[in-house]
């Protein structure tokens, strides 16, 4: 199978590319290489002669229709996995324009070019073609203390990021219902794992703990997120791509609800264990002003993808977090290069700074 992956130099996208190539598929990775895109995350593929032969990188912007069209024509995919997005909620508060452009307009452009390409395929290839749109559970808004998001939960996005992802989900739905494009949508909970840009909670806290810097916790750290190891998400996406029903959506999550404060504490304990320091890293926890409009709780009921496609995560939160923290401690080469560039770990997403 030839797969066009958008955003394959990002955190989730690079896991998808690595897994697809390992599974013997041909992959073309269309990525603009924004601050979040990093080809170092694909070294496992590009440094291996055999793997590199089934991989192509195309630098391009998903909102640039001629560039997207050229990628379709050059690589003739059997499927698209659309991940390219602006993904950081704090950045969406400071600068929502890029989110509208990439997440909404970019998805529109990829859909239009996919439709054009799909319509011109021979009947058999047209029947096989899939468009997998990768989205987030944040489109559903915030939960109270009880309940779970399912595929039937009404959309209620609260941040500029989740609003643009919600818009993109609706476009995909409409392109399926109106034009018949064989599309499938996934809505996944918070991912963590190797190669995540260190502005997100778990890598940020791991590196700050290692360097003895303050560990910022928003508000009182009471927000609850449902964590999933990124390789488990990528495996779910491959399964949905292979066997998901056209026109359906699948909620994906790890059944690992944790308060942010408990996540930070668990990272501290792992860093203490793996790199003992003079004082417990928990002493570095610093409560900072909460994110405006911060959603209280997300939790996913992933029973549909388990029941219909037989998906189950391989990692528990404890095993996945241990792997993740150990990976950051052992892969300084990756994050030192990231940190020496545009991003220096500063606080973003306070309204007064916008």
Asked if 191 is part of the footprint of ligand NAD (rule: CB under 6 A), the reply reads yes
Asked if 309 is part of the footprint of ligand NAD (rule: CB under 6 A), the reply reads no
Asked if 197 is part of the footprint of ligand NAD (rule: CB under 6 A), the reply reads yes
Member of 5, 20, 90, 136 binding ligand NAD (CB under 6 A): 136
Asked if 37 is part of the footprint of ligand NAD (rule: CB under 6 A), the reply reads yes
- Do the Cβ atoms of 137 and 188 come closer than 8 Å? yes
Asked if 10 is part of the footprint of ligand NAD (rule: CB under 6 A), the reply reads yes
Asked if 167 is part of the footprint of ligand NAD (rule: CB under 6 A), the reply reads no
- Do the Cβ atoms of 253 and 188 come closer than 8 Å? yes
Buried b (16+ CB within 10 A) or exposed e, 26-48: bbbbbbbebebbbbebbeebeee
Of the two residues 188 and 284, which places its CB atom closer to ligand NAD in the complex?
188
Member of 9, 28, 51, 71 binding ligand NAD (CB under 6 A): 9
- Angle at which helix 332-339 crosses helix 201-210, to 10 degrees, equals 100
Of the two residues 9 and 267, which places its CB atom closer to ligand NAD in the complex?
9
Member of 3, 17, 81, 87 binding ligand NAD (CB under 6 A): 87
Asked if 34 is part of the footprint of ligand NAD (rule: CB under 6 A), the reply reads yes
**Residues assigned a catalytic role:** 137-138, 161
DSSP 290-307: PPTT---B--B--HHHHH
Asked if 201 is part of the footprint of ligand NAD (rule: CB under 6 A), the reply reads no
* Stretch of residues binding ligand NAD (CB under 6 A), selected from 32-40, 121-129, 216-224, 285-293: 32-40
Closest CA to 181 of 251, 250, 108, 235: 108
In the complex, least distance from residue 298 CB atom to ligand NAD, rounded to whole angstroms: 10
Provide the 10 A C-beta neighbour count for residue 134.
27
Our CA angle for 10, 16, 20, nearest 5°, is 140
Of the two residues 255 and 281, which places its CB atom closer to ligand NAD in the complex?
255
* Stretch of residues binding ligand NAD (CB under 6 A), selected from 30-38, 177-185, 202-210, 344-352: 30-38
Distance (Å, whole) CA 267 – CA 320: 11
**Residues contacting residue 311 through CB under 8 Å, at least 6 positions apart:** 235, 236, 239, 252, 302, 305
Closest CA to 201 of 325, 302, 297, 32: 325
- Total binding residues for ligand NAD by CB under 6 A? 31
Member of 3, 4, 12, 201 binding ligand NAD (CB under 6 A): 12
Window 95 to 114, contacts with ligand NAD (CB under 6 A): 102, 106
Asked if 240 is part of the footprint of ligand NAD (rule: CB under 6 A), the reply reads no
Distance (Å, whole) CA 303 – CA 17: 26
**Residues contacting residue 32 through CB under 8 Å, at least 6 positions apart:** 59, 60, 61, 62, 84
In the complex, least distance from residue 124 CB atom to ligand NAD, rounded to whole angstroms: 30
| Residues at the contact surface with ligand NAD, assessed by CB under 6 A | 6-7, 9-13, 31-34, 36-37, 61-63, 83-87, 102, 106, 134-136, 165, 188, 190-191, 197
């Amino acid at each position: 199978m030839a797969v066009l992956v958008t955003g394959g130099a990002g955190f989730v996208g690079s896991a998808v590319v690595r897994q697809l190539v390992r599974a013997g598929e041909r992959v073309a990775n269309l990525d603009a290489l924004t601050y979040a895109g990093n080809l170092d995350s694909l070294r496992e593929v590009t440094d291996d002669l055999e793997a590199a032969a089934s991989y192509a990188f195309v630098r391009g912007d998903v909102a640039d229709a001629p560039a997207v069209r050229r990628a379709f024509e050059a690589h003739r995919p059997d499927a698209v996995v659309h991940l390219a997005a602006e993904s950081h909620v704090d950045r969406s508060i400071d600068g929502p324009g890029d989110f509208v452009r990439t997440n909404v307009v970019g998805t529109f452009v990829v859909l239009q070019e996919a439709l054009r390409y799909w319509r011109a395929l021979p009947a058999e290839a047209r029947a096989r073609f899939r468009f997998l749109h990768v989205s987030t559970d944040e489109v559903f808004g915030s939960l109270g203390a009880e309940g779970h998001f399912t595929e039937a939960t009404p959309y209620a996005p609260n941040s500029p990021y989740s609003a643009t992802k919600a818009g993109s989900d609706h476009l995909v739905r409409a392109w399926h219902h109106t034009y018949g494009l064989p599309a499938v949508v996934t809505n996944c909970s918070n991912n963590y794992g190797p190669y995540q840009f260190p502005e997100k909670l778990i890598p940020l806290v791991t590196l700050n703990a290692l360097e003895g810097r303050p560990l910022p916790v928003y508000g009182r750290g009471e927000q609850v997120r449902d964590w999933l190891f990124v390789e488990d998400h990528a495996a779910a996406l491959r399964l949905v791509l292979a066997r998901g029903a056209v026109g359906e959506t699948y909620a994906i999550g790890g059944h690992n609800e944790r308060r942010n404060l408990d996540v930070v504490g668990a990272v501290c304990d792992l860093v203490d264990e793996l790199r003992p320091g003079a004082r417990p890293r928990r002493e570095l926890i610093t409560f900072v002003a909460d994110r405006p409009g911060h959603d209280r709780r997300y939790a996913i009921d992933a029973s549909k993808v388990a029941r219909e496609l037989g998906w189950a995560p391989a990692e528990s939160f404890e095993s996945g977090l241990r792997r993740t923290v150990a990976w950051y401690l052992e892969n300084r080469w990756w994050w030192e290069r990231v940190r020496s560039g545009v991003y220096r770990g500063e606080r973003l997403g306070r309204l007064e700074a916008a």
